[in-house]
Structure 1
Amino acid sequence: MKNHPHILLKSYLNKDDIKAIKTLEQLCKEHDKTSLKLELEYKASISAGADPRLDEISEIMYFEDDSLVGYLGIGNFGSFEPELNGMVHPDYRRKGIFKRLYAQATYECSKTPQPHMLLLTDRDSVSGSTFVKNTGARLHHSEFEMYLDKKTLDQLPAIEPVITLRKASNQDTDEIARQNAVYFGCPIDEVQRLIPEEEEANGMTIFIAECGSTVVGKVHLALYDGVGSIYGLGILEAYRGKGYGKQLLRLGVQELLAKKASDVFLQVEAQNDNALQLYISSGFYVTSTMDYYLK
């Protein structure tokens, strides 16, 4: 007996959910030749052992005949605007499914303290860009997704780092918040406080960069399903212009490759030309552009 089309709301994703969403994601990416930013690996890591909280819905799934044909995820990152990204099976488009998903997501976001949300779409997605623009959202910023070319990396000249990486402990919580406030350009009381040992349990390891006994920066590394990712890389302003950024990036890449990462990727704001040039000169290349619209 076939079931009527229905929406399923969840706070966390289980293994079966992740599997179904990844299958739909792969189908959509192959059909559209575009990228999505669903953060499934991260969501899978935080789902382990989590207690569902029905008042904090972040996963919106649309089913027809027990098959997942639409999905929209809400990414909540502390004090920052929630990020929305999703998809609909190519055979089920032009039926208003994504409008229903978006309406539900808008309602869920209205329950949060944040007055705005970010709608994400690959720049090359005509349907995605059209939908987002029709909501009245305005372009806030864009990010390049970049992957490491290992052959290029192998051809780069060796460097002798003068900085070292130290795995952060919970005692570094204040330092991490201080650096994030600097890099994001916002008051420290608006920054999400990351607890290193909790983050590591969820798959993200934070490293403090030091030159001797002096803290000069930090980087966050993750490894999900064999794919390494680099986040939150930064050098404090007083120590810039010394090549520490390139050293920190190279050390982060080496750390992930030592853990058998088959690929390494990162994201960088399109307008951050200094960071973009650093990554290109370190063997990374742009694979897609994600536009963030503020609503």
Structure 2
Amino acid sequence: MNTDLTIILKNKLDSQLQNDIDNLLRICCDFEPICVSFPFDEESCIYILGYKNNILICMIPLIYISEGLYECSAWTHPDFRRMGFFKMLWSFALKKLPDNSSVQFINDANSILGRFAAKKINALKIYTQHLMSLDLTTIPEYMPDYFFKVLPVSVVQTNKTVKTHKAEPLNTDEKSSHSDLTDTDNSNHYIIKSDKRERKLNLFQGTVVAEFNIINYKSKKDIYFYGFFINKKLRGKGFGYYIFNYILNFLKKSGHRMIYLQVEDSNVPAFRIYRKSGFYVIEAVEYYEFVLRKQNH
């Protein structure tokens, strides 16, 4: 078996290389569709490409994340798998990294072949990241007045003045007006936008019960939800589901349609809240870790 492989390393991709990559991605996707995308425009990426007879048959984009930490994925032409080409490309990639570097290998959770590749390089699975979605138009009206009445008094009382931006309705494309909220305000519950742009669910005189962030995603009516944080005094008491659904109802009334979020499988409480609230997993990506030691050179 001829295992000759020409390996090239590039920091930027010209039009010919992009065409070669597009062609290999199309062939691989036709054979096994995956949700992992190729980082064409990643500034801190080096592209390691393997050619055989002037045809691109395997590739590894290696992204610098931080000192000693890298991220990569891999594609191999279906006709040239299990022939040692990926291992050759991987060995070449490792020689470009400093000792004791950590490489996170990303794989579509539905890809058995990707899982096999991770095993071949002795990478250990560290977690699975789920992308979840929910159609906000399908959720029922949610007015949990009883819930707000049973919150601990120690949590919902404050003597501090909170400088905020009001956001009613919440709109990521518009700037909100300023307002000073104190413990003398009569508002029982409201959502505000702070100077740092995170949204805060406030109850009873401006006490922060939860925080979250949103950005437009795919379209103006679709949003990506992240940075969800619940007041520490309310954790482990079963309040998370009700707080989260109150926020969902607010986002629905603000005119948003689809909501997307990501959660790791290790975050069991959050995952359960999202599933109970009606979210579905639409993509799942596995993260494997390989630590480069000196003896691997």
Q: TM-score range by the shorter chain?
A: 0.5 to 0.7
**SS across alignment from 1:28:** helix
Structure 2 equivalent of residue 83 of structure 1: 71
Among candidates 259, 264, 267, match of residue 269 of structure 1: 264
Q: 1:214 to 1:100 in 2, by over 3 A?
A: farther
Stretch of structure 1 that moved more, 119-128 or 268-277: 119-128
Q: Is the Cα–Cα contact under 8 Å of residues 166 and 208 in structure 1 kept in the other structure?
A: no
CA RMSD of aligned residues (A): 4.4
Q: 1:79 to 1:218 in 2, by over 3 A?
A: farther
Q: How do 1:106-255 and structure 2 match up within 5 A?
A: 106-110=94-98, 115-146=101-132, 148=133, 150=135, 153-158=136-141, 164=167, 207-211=197-201, 216-219=210-213, 221=215, 223=217, 230=224, 232-238=226-232, 241=239, 243-246=242-245
Q: Which stretches in structure 1 are left out of the alignment for 5+ residues?
A: 48-55, 168-205
> Distance in 2 between the 1:137 and 1:157 partners?
44
Q: Is the Cα–Cα contact under 8 Å of residues 9 and 60 in structure 1 kept in the other structure?
A: yes
> Distance in 1 between the 2:249 and 2:23 partners?
33
> Distance in 2 between the 1:67 and 1:109 partners?
26
Aligned identity (percent) is 20
Q: 1:253 to 1:59 in 2, by over 3 A?
A: farther
Q: 1:5 to 1:80 in 2, by over 3 A?
A: closer
Q: Is the Cα–Cα contact under 8 Å of residues 118 and 294 in structure 1 kept in the other structure?
A: yes
Q: CA deviation at 1:18?
A: 5.2
Structure 1 equivalent of residue 62 of structure 2: 74
Q: How do 1:24-103 and structure 2 match up within 5 A?
A: 24-33=24-33, 35-38=34-37, 40=39, 44=41, 46-47=42-43, 58-78=46-66, 81-103=69-91
Structure 2 equivalent of residue 177 of structure 1: none
More strand by share: 2
Among candidates 263, 273, 280, match of residue 285 of structure 1: 280
> Distance in 1 between the 2:52 and 2:218 partners?
30
Q: Is the Cα–Cα contact under 8 Å of residues 219 and 248 in structure 1 kept in the other structure?
A: no
TM-score (norm 2): 0.59
Q: Is the Cα–Cα contact under 8 Å of residues 218 and 235 in structure 1 kept in the other structure?
A: yes
Q: Which stretches in structure 2 are left out of the alignment for 5+ residues?
A: 144-165, 173-195, 291-297
Q: Is the Cα–Cα contact under 8 Å of residues 229 and 265 in structure 1 kept in the other structure?
A: yes
**SS across alignment from 2:29:** helix
CA deviation digits over 1:120-170, x for unaligned, max 9? 223443332223223222222222233x354xx32212458xx95687xxx
Q: 1:102 to 1:222 in 2, by over 3 A?
A: farther
* Larger Rg, first or second structure (1 or 2): 2
CA deviation digits over 1:226-262, x for unaligned, max 9? 9x7737432154376364544556778999968xxxx
> Distance in 1 between the 2:171 and 2:138 partners?
27
Q: 1:253 to 1:141 in 2, by over 3 A?
A: farther
Structure 2 equivalent of residue 6 of structure 1: 6
Q: CA deviation at 1:97?
A: 2.1
**SS across alignment from 2:65:** coil
Structure 2 equivalent of residue 201 of structure 1: none
Q: 1:15 to 1:265 in 2, by over 3 A?
A: farther
Q: CA deviation at 1:293?
A: 2.0
Q: CA deviation at 1:39?
A: 5.5
- AA paired with 1:129? R
Q: 1:77 to 1:89 in 2, by over 3 A?
A: same
Q: 1:149 to 1:222 in 2, by over 3 A?
A: closer
**SS across alignment from 2:224:** strand
TM-score (norm 1): 0.59
